[in-house]
């Protein structure tokens, strides 16, 4: 659980909530924890709160992307409602978060007891700018060694429950790292 403010500021997130990165959104900080359904990425990138929100650590380019979607009417159809951003400084489990910006969005898995989750990296250029030369070379090698370069996407992780009585099968980071498209299809 989070160490931080006990203040609870409610924000109802719905598909009609417009994205506005300029307003600061508040959530129930006492209930913030690492997202249980996260199957890809670094721990602490995704957080959740008991009031039905997911927080995703983000950079300016992501905020601009969500702003573009909202301004062009795309976000309401294909993406979770995301009313804005918030800046967090807190400790969650062993993670220390200091002045990090998070997108706040609705938790699409909240209605499910055992949600199946898929984390996919879409596109043939899996890096943003600016980037160091060292990281760029590493990302180029990853693109060529995985399905990213061949298919334009890479499955970074997934969690599936095959039957209600069975435990979840979790295929974590690296599952989609194979370079053979036939193993994905």
Helix (H) or strand (E) holding 133: helix 133-145
Q: pLDDT, tens digit, for every residue of 108-167?
A: 888 888 888 888 888 888 777 778 999 999 989 988 888 888 888 888 888 877 666 666
Nearest alpha-carbon partner for 33 in 48, 50, 13, 16: 48
Q: pLDDT, tens digit, for every residue of 2-45?
A: 443 333 333 334 344 556 655 556 676 778 888 887 887 777 78
pLDDT, residue 14, reads 39
pLDDT, residue 169, reads 62
Rounded to the nearest 5 degrees, what angle is found at the Cα of 117, between the Cα atoms of 150 and 147?
A: 10
Helix, strand, coil shares, percent, the chain, to 5: 25, 30, 50
Question: Is the alpha carbon torsion for 72, 78, 84, 86 positive or negative?
Answer: negative
Higher pLDDT, 171 or 127: 127
Local structure of residue 63 (DSSP, 8 states):
H
Contact 55, 86 (CB under 8 A): yes
């Amino acid at each position: 659980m989070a160490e931080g403010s006990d203040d609870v500021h409610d924000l109802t997130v719905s598909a009609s909530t417009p994205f506005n990165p300029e307003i600061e959104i508040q959530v129930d900080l006492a209930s913030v924890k690492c997202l249980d359904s996260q199957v890809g990425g670094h721990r602490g990138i995704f957080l959740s709160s008991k009031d039905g929100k997911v927080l995703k650590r983000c950079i300016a380019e992501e905020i601009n992307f969500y702003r573009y979607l909202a301004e062009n009417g795309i976000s309401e159809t294909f993406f979770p409602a995301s009313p804005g951003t918030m800046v967090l400084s807190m400790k969650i489990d062993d993670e220390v978060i200091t002045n990090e910006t998070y997108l706040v969005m609705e938790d699409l898995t909240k209605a499910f007891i055992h949600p199946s989750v898929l984390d996919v990296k879409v596109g043939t250029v899996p890096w943003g700018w600016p980037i160091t030369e060292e990281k760029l070379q590493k990302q180029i090698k990853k693109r060529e060694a995985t399905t990213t370069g061949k298919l334009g996407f890479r499955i970074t992780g997934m969690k599936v429950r095959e039957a209600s009585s069975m435990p979840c099968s979790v295929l974590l980071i690296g599952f989609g790292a194979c370079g053979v498209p036939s193993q994905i299809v």
